[in-house]
Structure 1
Amino acid sequence: MWQRFCAEAHLPELEATRGSLVAVRGVDAARGQQSGKGYAPTSASTHLAAAVVGLHRRGAKVSGDDQAEARAALEGLAVKLLQAGERRGRGQAVGGDIDGLRAIARACPDTLAGDRDKALTLTGFHYASRSQDPAGLLTGDVTLHPRGLVIAVLAGKTKHSVRNAKIRYADGAEIRPVRAYIAYRTRLVAEHGEQ
């Protein structure tokens, strides 16, 4: 998104100024999608954060004040959209079900990353994870027991506590979370050694 914006505006990619960050926010929200339709303010905010992280990784300097100005402009746009009655985005996500879970499991490629994604998806479904929960898991958070897995999951949005999610061995060829985790760990050790 940042590269496309810089190319259209004839700006250097590694020079993020307050004006360019505010401008990219406006372009992204107004017509950022490939279809020419604007993104929802929350999506534009995520894109802005990704652009800043990418710029930092490439050695560009981006000040906190410049980012704050762009975020303030984005909040103003969100208010204007609400006042105009314009709703953007996909809306409420459809709940997951077993058929969808099977489809996701089948879609995971036969690679280490595919095994990881399958294990995270299947275990996350079984302990009703929020989208960010699996991303925060560490190897030590998952313990294999004779009856299945125990996963130490951070709980709560403001206060962090840990809850132990217990997942038993399950039937069903495609959607067995414990077997998927074991397959992933076995492949990880075979390809990269003990972690």
Structure 2
Amino acid sequence: MRKKARRAGILAASTVLAAAAAFIAAPSASAGTSEIANPGFESGNASWSEYVTPFGGHPVNNSSAWPARSGVGKAELGGTGYTGISRISQQVTVPAYKVPVLTFWLRSDVVRADSPDFGFRQLVVEATAENGQSHELHSRMNKGGTAGAYEKVSLTLPDAFYSTSPQKVTLTFMVIEDNKNRMPFLIDDVSMEYRLKLISRPIVIPGTDFTRPVVR
């Protein structure tokens, strides 16, 4: 009788472990494709909202003075030579039950900190939910450049953007600067992927009680 009980306990425990392992190994790879329209800015500012103050302008351009990572289009934020803000934004729809991951390529050349022309320049990346609440995803200063090359940046949006129903999200790239120099932050090849979220839950098998020790 004890041997049967022991075998039953071991079998039940093995079943729970196998089920738990299968659950933990559930796929977390990309479960969606890019929702970003005009991700490489090859169609100019189509699908992107632009804002520059104090004098206006178009951050999205194909100027060869600051080359794109791919193609000819890119967003050139800051570097206007004036104290102000440069910003681009786009609204996307995040599917239900998906974790959004924002990826973009960034270039930031830097003036030496001891140079008399060194100026303040800050990049801020934000995501704004439908309720109007903004979440800062990334921030960096011009003291840390990318050595003249484009650097890949991937940002997982916080739990506020994981929902049981689709929701509209506004993505914003903004640069705040003073008037000391004209070196911009460059953004190119923006994309959004969606991953499955793993949620651990207790697995209950009918007819088993693991609160009591196995009879040996």
More strand as a share of residues: 2
Q: Is TM more than 0.5 here?
A: no
Q: What's the TM-score, normalizing by structure 1?
A: 0.18
More helix as a share of residues: 1
Q: Which has the larger radius of gyration?
A: 2
Q: Which has the higher contact order (CA 8 A, sep 6+)?
A: 2
